[in-house]
Structure 1
Amino acid sequence: MTLSEMNAGDKAIVTRVVADGELKQRLFSLGLHKGSHLQIKATSIAKSTMEIEVGSTLLALRFEEAKSIGVQRA
């Protein structure tokens, strides 16, 4: 399952990040790496962006970016 398949209110644990170079480094620097716990706070109506909470940090991701993050429900 990928992060893009989750809904607002869902909690998850990151199982993998399938991205290269700059995107992978950006996600890692934001706290998104294997083992990270997160919660989906909101998704846009058009399902183009989502807001997630990782630790005490709120992030906005595009759904295309969220497709590169494997998760399991927590």
Structure 2
Amino acid sequence: MRNLHNAVIGEKVIVNSLFAENELKERLLALGVTKGAKLEVLRKGPQDNLTVFRIRGAMIALRKEESSLIYIH
């Protein structure tokens, strides 16, 4: 299993599990990052610190610390 931060631009992935806690977990769930959700990697920022994803028709940006807590397959 790998984390979302390791996905490459243009890749479409499915969320397997979420290891965030407290406010961050609530935020990710509110954005639609749930088990089984489909994400597409749109672009990465400088030094791979920020990544933009498409999820359920919306674009979201996550920092490396946040996307590394989301496991995909």
Give your verdict on TM over 0.5. yes
Asked if 1:33 corresponds to 2:38, the answer is no
Gaps of 5+ in 2: none
Relative to its length, the structure with more helix (as a share) is 2
Query: 1:2: which partner in 2?
Result: 3
Number of aligned residues: 72
Q: TM-score, normalised by structure 2?
A: 0.96
Point out where structure 1 has 5 or more consecutive residues left out of the alignment.
none
Identity of aligned residues (%): 31
Quote the RMSD (CA, aligned, Å).
Answer: 0.6
How far has the Cα of 1:45 moved from its partner? Answer: 3.0
Give CA deviations for 1:5-24 in whole Å, capped at 9, x if unaligned: 01110100000000111000
Q: Deviations over 1:8-66 (max 9, x none)?
A: 10100000000111000000000001010010000113100000000101000001100
Provide runs of 4+ in structure 1 moved above 6 Å: none
CA distance in 2, matches of 1:68, 1:32: 11
Alignment of 1:1-74 (within 5 A): 1-72=2-73
Tell me the SS of whatever aligns to 1:46.
helix
